[in-house]
Structure 1
């Protein structure tokens, strides 16, 4: 009998806890769970952020200008009855102007604009140009011998500040004489980052043996934006016509031009003859 009692006592016994104690333990457990959940978002906020690589944004629309040198394009429209007189006066007095800054070239427009002259001036900086303009305004010879006589002969004046595109240099023609073509392209907004490569490919496809000679490619800084110009030299107007016909049958040129015209809004071509006093003849 005593042996049975001892074995029964070794078996697990059911423990009866007071109801209040059980409820108290349950309440504490619930509060601890809620506290743990509330602390979890705070731990996430305090966790140091993982290292991430931020993408570099392209804030410019094309190759950056590496030089301050710029070229001012000037176009004067002349009264039809004064065209010859204006060219004669300029030929006689241009030395008064070139004493202050460098003249690249001076042309009379033959096709693509009547009674017009086009000229290019080179400046090393905007401050240099400002000093030149101030000095000219104070030069009595320039003002009395040229400006006072030339201005009444004109109907309008226009100017544009341009830079050489990064892949172009200002070249001299292979020989004196010949004709010059200024081609102006109005491209779609977006800058060279959008159309620069296509424009370069189309332009350089023409700058090859058997075609014209590219003297310079320029893009506008002041004036109409997204505008680019190319200045070409040809032996004659007839040679230019032959080159034009040849380009239409050159698969290499046609492919480059077709890609470029996708970004083109308008185009203007002018055929010009150099004036006798032009440095580029």
Structure 2
């Protein structure tokens, strides 16, 4: 019995000298959390081919009625890529309550309804929208002068930024380093097709963009970064966009 007591006393003393146990906690988040409520609505309209010019002229004339309610980031017509006779525009909102207030106010805006909606709605074949957030490592940047834009849309494999975010950011940064185009913004979808990322680029002309693409294909940094990012990619597509005269982003 004496030996058992001595052994037990030694064990207790040993345990009391050990450092406190560290609790290990794992996060279930699949990427950086969205703390900023600001979001961007991507709106795409397909217009009757014979009515595109009339649609844009009427929009140019009355867009001030719409921008009186919320901020227009940019407005473009599609030049190349996918379905033709398309216009694409981005609107900024503080949060979902803000958007709901704006939509309600527009519905009650008699001048907007009569001068714009009633005239342009018959020209629209299809409307589509997506709700997107800027990725945490990107802010919208204005280009140095007027030019053309390229919207590249990436459909990523499910899993979120925790799986593909680092490689995707590296691929974008290597394209920036080549210097043939300027990054305007990187957006990920909240409503619409999920696991989708939109990258908006600016370049001076379509020809300068083409020449820059050829350079990037021969740049070892770009090739390596794109190869890593492609492991998480399902598909991607792009559009060349021409800014409308009234677009804030030119």
The answer to whether TM tops 0.5 is: yes
Pick from 106, 111, 115: which aligns with 2:80? 111
Larger-gyration structure (1/2): 1
Root-mean-square deviation (CA), in Å? 1.2
More relative contact order, 1 or 2 (CA 8 Å, 6+ apart): 2
Map Cα deviations across residues 207-262 of structure 1 (whole Å, 9 max, x no partner): 12532100111111111111001110101000000011001100001000000011
Partner-residue secondary structure (3-state), 2:42? strand
> What's 1:278 paired with?
247
Give the match's secondary structure for 1:259.
helix
CA deviation after TM superposition for structure 1 residue 53, in Å: 5.2
Question: Which aligned segments of 4 or more residues in structure 1 are displaced greater than 6 angstroms?
Answer: none
Match of 2:217 among 248, 269, 276: 248
Q: Do structure 1's residue 257 and structure 2's residue 190 form an aligned pair?
A: no
If the length of structure 1 is used for normalisation, what is the TM-score? 0.80
Partner of 2:203: 234
- Larger mean CA deviation between 53-62 and 216-225 belongs to 53-62
Are 1:137 and 2:107 an aligned pair? yes
Over residues 174-233 of structure 1, what are the superposed CA-to-partner deviations in whole Å (9 max), with x where a residue is unaligned?
11x211000000000000011000100001111125321001111111111110011101
Match of 2:186 in 1: 217
In 2, distance between residues paired with 1:222 and 1:185? 15
Partner of 2:67: 98
Q: Where do residues 1-281 of structure 1 align in structure 2 (5 Å cutoff)? A: 55-112=24-81, 113-175=83-145, 177-208=146-177, 210-281=179-250
Q: How many residues align?
A: 230
Paired residue secondary structure (2:231): helix
CA distance in 2, matches of 1:104, 1:97: 12
What TM-score do you get using the length of structure 2 for normalisation?
0.89
Question: Which consecutive residues of structure 2, in runs of 5 or more, have no partner in the other structure?
Answer: 1-19
Distance 1:55 1:200 in 2: 29
C-alpha distance in structure 2 between counterparts of 1:63 and 1:155, whole Å? 38
